[in-house]
């Protein structure tokens, strides 16, 4: 704030002040009490004695300006909305992250920033516009995966240059990077526009450009996973669009120059330039892309579908037990298992090196850790039964258990404390572990491969109060309006596991209760179809009533706000036809 005041930024325009407030809201949680003694809010006073007060003030100002300038697209307002989107994503406010990112993208598209229409501006402004639009593309991919929604920008239609080197940008040199399809191609290669590449010799390597292209290629894999997934693919893995995208990743890895390939020496070199996080994230995303889609093809024990759970829909396979490509969910593919297990262990190994070198964790690293944990949980909990006795001597179950514990420790404490997003990821992994334990080992209260972390509830509840400034969310997602009806999820472990990991940011409490419902039901094989429906409600009601009120099985799952929990519990109880009586309510939630 003091720097912006001395440079005259706060006197330029209201939009510049709004950007400063957005940046302040994003960075305030990193400030200590001693730092606050030197913070000026831009009004000549020093009334902000804590970072929480500064956060509340700046966040309210930035949100207000975002609303007021929603129909006034400018580069400065685009940057402001990107900062707000990132801030909301870090605190696991998925809806707001999606909306702010969408507003930034629409404003950038309104200015046609995906094309080089900026020649009338000076060189520095041209570069600022390029970097701003590439930031929109990066945020589009991160928010889409974290919120399990569709990406907005098609990189194939983007024709602007990649960012210039930071040195050239800082000193205003006439320099710009190659276009997306030019990076990594040899001279003489014909681009999608039909032009031949003739880049000057000796052009400095720019890690940021390689990181952007890696994220774009990774984004294609994300689209295959989020928008389609196994439930909608009509071709086997490695065929069709996903096969093309997978081969593009392999070709890209093969073209990386020596300076951009993974090694501890290169990591230390990039760390000396302040780019270690970008370098590490780039390689973790490359490893993640190799098995993100394929991990959905890990075999699972199939539960037979019943008429009460299956309804005709484009999202549900026509034949129970099979996907749309005609592959059984129980099918064992040696190559898929090998790729997924090797990919998960590669992510673990990369992460150990990253932490050993004290490199800051990023969102891209976090999403890769979640997928790696999912694969390793399958190894520990499911692989022996799901593969029907097929020996897999190359799978190290002990190493998998140790890796799960390590990755969860990273999610719990390796990310900044105020990143509620990482705690949400950790909770979804613990929930998935208990879910697998219940279905593969018939365990309701068990010692699992995942150790619980008892202070997660307290930490996140405190973070929520601080980050939201004591306010309630203005718009709540509800079942049918933003949240899927979990009673419509088909039977079969694939669909349920996908639900747990895909919607962890938006409905953690609801997912936990869905898990309880499935866990408490007796095995389907012991029930007749006619009795199943009538027994479900009675079984759950009886079991819930018998649960001790001091049970701490929910210690790993952060609670939603009270009004959300009321809506969730009402939907859960009414879907089971269980009377919402005071005794049951007290048993679930306690006296308070």
**Has residue 412 been placed in a domain?**
no
Q: Which helix (H) or strand (E) holds 198?
A: none
Give me the number of domains the chain comprises. 1
Candidates 148, 91, 149, 84; CA nearest to 422 is 91
* Per-residue pLDDT tens digits for 17-50: 889 999 999 988 888 777 776 665 444 555 677 7
Domain for residue 473, yes or no?
yes
**Cα 38 from Cα 21, distance rounded (Å):** 16
Among residues 31, 32, 11, the alpha carbon closest in space to that of 23 is found at 31
Q: What is the pLDDT of residues 554-574, one digit of tens each?
A: 333 333 333 333 333 333 333
> For residue 54, what pLDDT band results from cuts at 50, 70 and 90?
confident
| DSSP-assigned beta bridge partners for residue 479 | 483
| Phi/psi-derived region of residue 300, left when phi > 0, alpha when psi is between -120 and 50, beta in every other case | beta
In this predicted structure, the answer to whether residue 274 has a pLDDT above a threshold of 50 is yes
Higher per-residue confidence, 146 vs 528: 146
Q: If pLDDT is split at 50, 70 and 90, which confidence band does 83 have? A: very high
Q: Which of 181-190, 288-297, 318-327 ranks highest by mean pLDDT?
A: 288-297
Q: Residue 318: helix, strand or coil by DSSP?
A: coil
Question: Cα separation of 526 and 515, whole Å?
Answer: 20
Provide the mean pLDDT of the chain: 75
> 350 or 55: which carries more pLDDT confidence?
350
DSSP three-state, residue 328: strand
The answer to whether the CB of 490 falls within 8 A of the CB of 316 is yes
Is 390 domain-assigned?
no
pLDDT 10s digits, 309-323: 333 344 544 566 788
Residue at 544 is within a domain: yes
- 219-263, pLDDT tens digit by residue? 999 999 998 888 788 888 778 788 899 999 999 999 999 999 999
Residue 555 resides in a domain: yes
The more confident residue out of 67 and 439 is: 67
User: Residue 196 corresponds to which tokens in the numbers above?
Assistant: 């031949």
Range of the domain at 514: 460-589
470 is a domain residue: yes
Report the percentage of the chain scoring pLDDT > 70: 65
Spatial neighbors of 100 by CB under 8 A, at least 6 apart, are: 66, 81, 82, 84, 85, 88
CA distances from 54 to 8, 51, 61, 414, 467 (A): 20, 5, 11, 25, 11
Q: How many CB atoms lie within 10 A of CB 18?
A: 26
C-alpha–C-alpha distance, residues 479 and 111, integer Å:
36
Both structure tokens of 148? 């399990």
Is residue 541 in some structural domain?
A: yes
pLDDT of 82 reads 96
Burial (CB < 10 A; 0-12, 13-18, 19+), residue 87, is buried
Q: Is residue 483 part of a domain?
A: yes
Answer whether 225's CB lies under 8 Å from 316's CB: no
DSSP assignment string, 102-170 = HHHHHHHHHTTTTS---TTS-HHHHHHHHHHHHHHHHHHHHHHHHHT------GGG--SPPPPPHHHHH
Q: Measuring CA to CA, which residue among 119, 19, 1 is closest to residue 74?
A: 19
Q: For 456-498, write each residue's pLDDT tens digit.
A: 343 444 444 445 544 444 446 666 666 666 666 776 788 888 8
Greater model confidence, 310 or 508: 508
């Amino acid at each position: 704030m003091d720097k912006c005041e001395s440079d005259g930024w706060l006197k330029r325009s209201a939009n510049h002040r709004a950007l400063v407030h957005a940046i302040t809201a994003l960075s305030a949680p990193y400030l200590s009490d001693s730092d606050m003694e030197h913070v000026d809010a831009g009004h000549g006073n020093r009334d902000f004695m804590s970072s929480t007060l500064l956060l509340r003030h700046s966040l309210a100002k930035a949100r207000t300006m975002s609303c007021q300038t929603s129909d006034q697209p400018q580069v400065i307002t685009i940057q402001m909305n990107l900062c707000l989107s990132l801030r909301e994503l870090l605190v696991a406010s998925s809806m707001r992250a999606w909306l702010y990112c969408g507003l930034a993208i629409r404003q950038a598209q309104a200015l046609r920033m995906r094309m080089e229409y900026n020649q009338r501006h000076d060189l520095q402004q041209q570069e600022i516009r390029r970097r701003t639009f590439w930031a929109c593309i990066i945020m589009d991919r991160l928010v889409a995966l974290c919120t399990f929604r569709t990406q907005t920008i098609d990189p194939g239609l983007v024709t602007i240059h990649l960012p210039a080197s930071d040195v050239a940008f800082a000193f205003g040199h006439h320099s710009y990077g190659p276009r997306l399809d030019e990076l990594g191609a040899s001279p003489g290669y014909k681009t999608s526009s039909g032009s031949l590449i003739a880049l000057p010799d000796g052009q400095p390597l720019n890690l940021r450009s390689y990181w952007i292209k890696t994220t774009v290629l990774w984004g294609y894999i994300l689209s295959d996973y989020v928008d389609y997934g196994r439930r909608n693919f009509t071709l086997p893995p490695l065929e069709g669009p996903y096969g093309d995208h997978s081969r593009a990743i392999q070709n890209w890895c093969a073209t990386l120059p020596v300076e951009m390939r993974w090694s501890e020496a290169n990591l230390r070199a990039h760390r000396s330039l302040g780019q270690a996080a970008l370098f590490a994230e780039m390689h973790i995303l490359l490893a993640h892309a190799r098995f993100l889609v394929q991990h959905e093809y890990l075999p699972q024990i199939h539960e037979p579908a019943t008429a009460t759970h299956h309804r005709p829909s484009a999202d549900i396979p026509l034949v129970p037990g099979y996907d749309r490509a005609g592959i059984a969910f129980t099918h064992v593919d040696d190559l898929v298992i090998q790729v997924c297990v090797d990919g998960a262990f590669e992510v673990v190994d990369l992460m150990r090196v990253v932490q050993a070198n004290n490199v800051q964790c990023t969102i891209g690293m976090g999403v890769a850790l979640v997928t790696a944990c999912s694969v390793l949980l399958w190894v520990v909990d499911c692989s022996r039964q799901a593969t029907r006795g097929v020996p897999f001597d190359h799978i190290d179950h002990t190493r998998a258990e140790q890796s799960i514990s390590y990755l969860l420790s990273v999610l719990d404490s390796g990310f900044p404390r105020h990143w509620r997003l990482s705690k949400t990821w950790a909770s979804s992994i613990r929930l998935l572990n208990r879910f697998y334990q219940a279905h593969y080992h018939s365990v309701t209260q068990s010692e699992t491969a995942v150790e619980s972390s008892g202070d997660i509830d307290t930490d996140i509840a405190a973070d929520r109060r601080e980050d939201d400034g004591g306010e309630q969310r203005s718009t709540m997602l509800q079942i049918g309006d933003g949240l899927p009806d979990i009673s419509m999820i088909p039977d079969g472990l694939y669909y349920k596991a996908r639900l747990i990991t895909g919607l962890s940011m938006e409905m953690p409490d609801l997912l936990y209760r869905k898990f309880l419902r499935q866990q408490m039901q007796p095995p389907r094989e012991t029930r007749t179809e006619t009795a199943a429906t009538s027994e479900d409600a009675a079984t759950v009601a009886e079991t819930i009533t018998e649960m001790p009120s001091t049970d701490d099985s929910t210690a790993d799952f952060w609670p939603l706000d009270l009004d959300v929990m009321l809506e969730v519990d009402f939907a859960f109880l009414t879907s089971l036809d269980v009377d919402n009586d005071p005794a049951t309510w007290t048993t679930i939630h306690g006296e308070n």
